[in-house]
Structure 1
Amino acid sequence: MRLDKFLKVSRLIKRRTVAKDVSDQGRVLLNGREAKPSADVKIGDELEIQYGQRILTVRVERLAESTKKEDAEGLYAVLKEEVRKREDDGLLL
């Protein structure tokens, strides 16, 4: 399954065009490497997605062409979620 479609079906990203844009910007890693929107996603693959300052790492558990909202979380398992602090947070102005 294409990466952009998986991100949309799993509801990790709401729209496929947004998933494509995020991948094109290099904010999605597939098994540790930058991934294009057309990259092939398989069960067991690890995805690292950067949302602003937040980074979410998930493992692909299932693939499906479409899902209901309540079943979408079953497509992946969250491995790690971290928030990177901005570098200028400690500066006093």
Structure 2
Amino acid sequence: MRLDKYLKVSRLIKRRTVANDACDAARITVNGKPAKASYQVKTGDVIEIAFGQRTMKVEVLEIAEHALKADAAAMYREIP
């Protein structure tokens, strides 16, 4: 699954266009490298998202095409 779609489905970022813009601005890294929106996400990948002053780091646990709001948090694990 594409990175921008994964960020939207997992509800880490609200909209896919916003996820695209964040990738273009190099605010999202996967496994320590800046990633494009077209990057194919795999389980075990570590995604780091820069939200202004705050940075969020998550590990991909599962990939699903669609997820309900209640199930979206099970797609990743936050890393301190």
Q: Same fold (TM over 0.5)?
A: yes
Aligned to 2:34: 34
Structure 1: which 4+ aligned runs deviate by more than 3 Å? none
Q: Which residue is equivalent to 1:79?
A: 79
Q: String of CA shifts for 1:44-65, please: whole Å, max 9, x gaps.
A: 0000000011000000000000
Higher relative contact order structure (alpha carbons within 8 Å, sequence separation ≥ 6)? 2
Q: Matched residues, percent identical? A: 54
Q: Which has the larger radius of gyration?
A: 1
Q: Write the deviation string for residues 46-88 of structure 1: whole angstroms up to 9, x where unpaired.
A: 00000011000000000000100010000000002xxxxxxxx
* Count of residue pairs brought into register by the alignment: 80
User: How far, CA to CA, are the matches of 1:52 and 1:18 in structure 2?
Assistant: 14
Structure 1, unaligned runs of 5 or more: 81-93
Q: TM-score, normalised by structure 2?
A: 0.99
* Aligned-pair CA distance for 1:25: 0.2
Secondary structure of 2:79's match?
strand
RMSD of Structure 2 on Structure 1 (CA): 0.4
Q: TM-score when scaled to structure 1?
A: 0.85
Corresponding residue SS for 1:36? coil
Equivalent runs, 1:49-64 vs 2, <5 Å: 49-64=49-64
Aligned partner letter, 1:14:
K
